[in-house]
Structure formats: structure tokens, C-alpha cells
């Protein structure tokens, strides 16, 4: 089974992916972690040292390679991954089940305020700037996120409810 999770940062892709992995007894991978291992540095450092264009090209290459060489998995994509180089087309086939973990702006803001220190891209934003940043990105990325097979709304659900909903769709 090949399963891909997409969504904005703080939507729960990694947490839900790990729980799904345990339930399905499949390996869990996080694309950002794979990229960091490949370059032996953080995503933030890659952006700073090499720029976003370099990062997005390498992200595409690594995603393509992963999809071509890995058989069964749960994979969490980076928040921007579906939006560049038509990456969303890579998981538009019957072999891969794709899910968008859809969270509202208010839910994402709640989570991001708690996680700000671990997310360099938003760490220095005040509440108003963070709200604008998230709303703008969600609007821009909405088309790409909606290219999945199944949308799972995560607002007001606990982790187990989300996992159960995904498992029911996989059955």
C-alpha cells in the first residue's frame, strides 16, 4: 500500500502519518526528513544557503526517486511540495492513495502559535502577520492540495478520529 499525506504545516501530517504507520504496519517517511538526510542539513539551511529554486528542484528529484523505488509506505509531503513542478501529478494514479489533511486557518494558527519556535519560516511573525501568512498560503495552495483522492477535515477531531477516518477510506 502506498499512501501520501498532504497539507499545510501544522496540519498533522507527521503525527497522523506515524499513527497510520503503526496501525497499518507500514514504514513512515517524511519527505522533509529524507531531504535533510540527503543534504545532511536542515530544510531551513538549504533555503538559506542554496535558495528556494535549488530546494524545489531537489525536492522533486528526491520525491520522484522515492516513489519509483519504494513499494509500501506512508509518506508525509512538505507543505509546499504539491505546489511546485507539478509534483501533485506524481501521485495521481491508482497505486497511490492520497489524502489532504485539511485544517482551517484558525486551527492552523492555534497549532502554529504553540509550535512557532520549531518552525523557522514563521518564528519571527507576530500574530497578525502569522494570520496573514497562513491565510495567503492556504489560498495560493488550495488548488494543489485539492488534487488528492480524499480530503479529511481535521478541525475538532483528535488524532485517533483522523486515523480511523483515513483507515475507513483505505478499507
- Residues 33-76: tens digit of each pLDDT: 999 999 999 988 998 899 989 999 999 999 999 999 999 999 99
Half-sphere exposure of 26 (CA within 13 A, CB side): 20
Percent of residues, the chain, with pLDDT higher than 90: 87
Cα–Cα distances in Å, from 88 out to 66, 73, 76?
14, 17, 13
Q: What is the pTM of this model?
A: 0.94
Half-sphere exposure of 6 (CA within 13 A, CB side): 27
Contact indicator for 71, 2 with CB cutoff of 8 Å: yes
pLDDT, residue 31, reads 97
Kindly indicate the confidence band of residue 144, based on its pLDDT and cuts at 50, 70 and 90: very high
Residue 49 burial by Cβ neighbours in a 10 Å radius (0-12, 13-18, 19+): exposed
Is residue 115's pLDDT more than 90? no
pLDDT, residue 123, reads 81
Q: Please provide the CATH number assigned to the domain covering 2-103+145-170.
A: 3.40.50.300
pLDDT, residue 129, reads 94
Ranges of each domain in the chain:
2-103+145-170
Which cell is 31 given?
519527505
Which cell is 169 given?
477510506
Beta pairing class for 96-102 and 2-6: parallel
Q: What is the rounded distance in angstroms from the CA atom of residue 149 to the CA atom of residue 97?
A: 7
Kindly indicate the confidence band of residue 116, based on its pLDDT and cuts at 50, 70 and 90: confident
pLDDT, residue 139, reads 95
Amino acid at each position: 500500500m502506498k499512501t501520501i499525506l498532504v497539507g499545510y504545516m501544522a496540519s498533522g501530517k507527521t503525527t497522523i502519518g506515524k499513527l497510520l504507520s503503526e496501525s497499518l504496519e507500514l514504514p513512515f517517511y517524511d519527505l522533509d526528513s529524507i531531504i535533510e538526510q540527503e543534504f545532511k542539513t536542515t530544510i531551513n539551511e538549504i533555503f538559506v544557503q542554496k535558495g528556494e529554486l535549488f530546494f524545489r528542484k531537489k525536492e522533486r528529484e528526491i520525491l520522484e526517486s522515492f516513489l519509483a523505488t519504494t513499494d509500501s509506505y506512508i509518506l508525509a509531503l512538505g507543505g509546499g511540495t504539491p505546489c511546485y513542478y507539478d509534483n501533485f501529478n506524481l501521485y495521481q494514479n491508482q497505486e497511490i492513495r492520497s489524502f489532504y489533511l485539511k485544517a482551517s486557518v484558525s486551527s492552523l494558527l492555534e497549532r502554529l502559535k504553540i509550535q512557532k519556535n520549531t518552525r523557522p519560516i514563521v518564528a519571527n511573525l507576530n500574530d497578525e502577520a502569522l494570520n496573514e501568512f497562513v491565510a495567503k498560503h492556504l489560498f495560493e495552495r488550495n488548488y494543489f492540495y485539492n488534487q488528492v483522492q480524499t480530503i479529511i477535515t481535521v478541525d475538532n477531531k483528535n488524532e485517533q478520529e483522523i486515523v480511523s477516518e483515513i483507515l475507513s477510506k483505505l478499507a
